[in-house]
Structure 1
């Protein structure tokens, strides 16, 4: 059997790892080591010159971390990738081989607030910039792209609003512009959709969320489809031109579909050092084993909770794309046919103050700055995760002052609804 014949849940358990050849250990060991002994001087030289694949130093590669990358790559249909210390690190790593001073990325205005801050503020220190557009306005997306644009960036299911991106349409725009489409698939996971099947070049994840699923470690991943022609133009010299640090090696010419992955390891992790630690990779590997089982329950619960909330007179609206009233319902049926995820916002009657009281009144829900846990989670974005944005930007990001973001867990759905019911009673009394 090959990986192509295996189902999702089988890959989630088996892909990327075999029993440990030294001990026969069935679970992937935690290779808690900094460095690796070379067979001889010639072996070391081949590794450092990228003439042979192997382990040199754990800032670059580690067997536990590699197993995780290979497993998620199998789930996403990617040829390779890198693991990073966090989802935010993964976003910088995704852009690093593509960007140069003066370049820009065109990004959805409906991104996680921390991503908007990273793209609008932090990357400017590299002399990169971001142009935020409503990705439902395809003409505006095309108009925002210019000769200095190096990527188009969106989330499959936007955090916090649950908005579903039209990946197929955005991929066509990116293709016409000769740039990669980068999709953050954190909130959907490959169980709901594989963005590369819709034309995405790169997929990023905050592995902290659904992939791990238990709120124990932070991590990020960048996966590459291996299908983009980095040499088709002069836009991506890091991949299409000789690299001085490797004796003039041209990554795309020498490594073909694996060029982006090898550059991200050999240059990105080498110089930026945003490396995932092996213990974190181990926790995430264990989480991925049950990803399909968890996502099925997450989505089933979220649909039931969203329908209950939409019918409640204490609620103004619910943004869940699985509701027939949602403007993105038809798109969700096409992009994520197994469900619209488990993250959405709820507008509470009474505005900002009612939202704050709701959060404080819940008992089963945890008030945390996280999502994708087995536990149901809640936060008021306008006063926390998105508080750095002005009111106009809050509304554009789907985080208006009168909404709370909820991440539905895998508890008994009746208990989730009962907790929301009693908290809404207090918040809107």
Structure 2
């Protein structure tokens, strides 16, 4: 609609993937709440099932509302295609599913969300897969962890909970040298703050539940494919490079090229794993994405102000926010995510575990919930909740030790949020003195 002009992020977050509804002229993407779709004739149905034609068959696989969301997120990330699914955890399995076989492993960052650490260290063993956790700031350790059975490298752009910023380009170079895909969880940063594909990532995963929807109403996930990886080069990814028996010997990479991973995710992943995103959730997420840039700017501004205030508070031992000049990741953050280091960080209380619990029980505006990325400010004590299943060593490695509080800063008035934190810290200290 604008010739060769490249559209800005703020325009794409509203328009990418969407057209007025051809039947009614509706300007907002409708919720196509339907299970199945009528075929034009028998030939049309056969072409769809043989992957010879793109279209809608059954909503476990494809749905018009979900399709708009997939195109929009792929566009914002700079990817070739995307597959939406039922949760962020589902997205991680969907990302690994075409790559792995029993006996294969991934190399994963030690700084991951606790649920991801549990999924990778425990649950994927049931598939015969394994994970090797290393510090991604130690590139030699990443190289040393790779062997002939490694099929992917996995990290978070901005880590939950600590706000650690990954040097995506450096790890991507290691992955490229080894002929492996790099998978980046971009949930905390969002494509507005960080563009992992431009820094060499092969796949990007999201929990739509967080910033992309932004209002705590949806559980969903997404896998974005860069379209740049050569799945046929090494012979390590036969699901994508070799004949697929379920489709009469079709080779996904040979047939679909840059969209091989995306088509496999729908035609095999969603078909057999069934991790489907429902159209109403897709609709809510589409509405959330329309204001992503506005919300992220406010999340960042509030987080910077609150982190600076907390850093000077006498009850606080330290703050991890990469937006602070004192952070060891501050310079990296300015390079990797120049629009800001996000709205998530942790701080440590000098009086330890008990002080954290008292603080959590004293907040009033902040909500104590196991979520992040909401318009509302949220707070949690990871060691007793989201990271409880981890060992003490794993908790510390993930910056989720017993003295740590995680805050997801919302878009309320920053001074109101500071006042709430101040009274909660004061009450926590007062209860400690009384005891």
Specify if TM > 0.5.
yes
Give the Cα–Cα distance (whole angstroms) in 2 for the partners of residues 2 and 129 of structure 1: 48
Give the TM-score normalised by structure 1. Answer: 0.99
State whether structure 2 residue 11 is matched by structure 1 residue 40: no
Give the Cα–Cα distance (whole angstroms) in 1 for the partners of residues 129 and 103 of structure 2: 6
Q: CA deviation at 1:2?
A: 5.7
Q: Which residue of structure 1 lines up, in the alignment, with residue 134 of structure 2? A: 133
Q: Which residue of structure 1 lines up, in the alignment, with residue 125 of structure 2? A: 124
Give the Cα–Cα distance (whole angstroms) in 2 for the partners of residues 107 and 163 of structure 1: 15
For 1:21-420, what aligned pairs fall within 5 Å after superposition?
A: 21-420=22-421
Q: CA deviation at 1:390?
A: 1.4
Deviation string, structure 1 residues 105-128 (Cα, Å, up to 9, x no partner): 100000000000000000000000
Q: CA deviation at 1:4?
A: 6.4
User: 1:345·1:405 contact (CA, 8 Å) conserved in 2?
Assistant: yes
Give the Cα–Cα distance (whole angstroms) in 2 for the partners of residues 284 and 297 of structure 1: 19
User: 1:3·1:15 contact (CA, 8 Å) conserved in 2?
Assistant: no
Q: CA deviation at 1:81?
A: 1.1
Give the Cα–Cα distance (whole angstroms) in 1 for the partners of residues 264 and 65 of structure 2: 20
Give the Cα–Cα distance (whole angstroms) in 1 for the partners of residues 219 and 339 of structure 2: 27
Q: Which residue of structure 1 lines up, in the alignment, with residue 19 of structure 2? A: 18
What is the DSSP-based 3-state SS (H/G/I as helix, E as strand, rest coil) of the residue aligned with 1:428? helix
Give the Cα–Cα distance (whole angstroms) in 1 for the partners of residues 272 and 291 of structure 2: 34
What is the DSSP-based 3-state SS (H/G/I as helix, E as strand, rest coil) of the residue aligned with 1:361? coil
User: 1:3·1:74 contact (CA, 8 Å) conserved in 2?
Assistant: no
Give the Cα–Cα distance (whole angstroms) in 2 for the partners of residues 181 and 2 of structure 1: 34
Q: CA deviation at 1:428?
A: 2.0
Q: Which residue of structure 1 lines up, in the alignment, with residue 433 of structure 2? A: none
Give the Cα–Cα distance (whole angstroms) in 1 for the partners of residues 120 and 373 of structure 2: 23
Q: CA deviation at 1:31?
A: 0.2
Deviation string, structure 1 residues 134-193 (Cα, Å, up to 9, x no partner): 101110000001100000000000000000000000000000010100000000000001
User: 1:349·1:428 contact (CA, 8 Å) conserved in 2?
Assistant: no
Unaligned runs of 5+ in 2: 431-435
How many residue pairs end up in the alignment? 429
What is the DSSP-based 3-state SS (H/G/I as helix, E as strand, rest coil) of the residue aligned with 1:68? helix
Give the Cα–Cα distance (whole angstroms) in 2 for the partners of residues 311 and 4 of structure 1: 47
What is the DSSP-based 3-state SS (H/G/I as helix, E as strand, rest coil) of the residue aligned with 1:5? coil
Give the TM-score normalised by structure 2. Answer: 0.98
Deviation string, structure 1 residues 314-345 (Cα, Å, up to 9, x no partner): 10000000111111111101100111101000
Q: CA deviation at 1:275?
A: 0.4
Deviation string, structure 1 residues 342-382 (Cα, Å, up to 9, x no partner): 10001012100000000000000000000000000000000
Q: CA deviation at 1:199?
A: 0.2
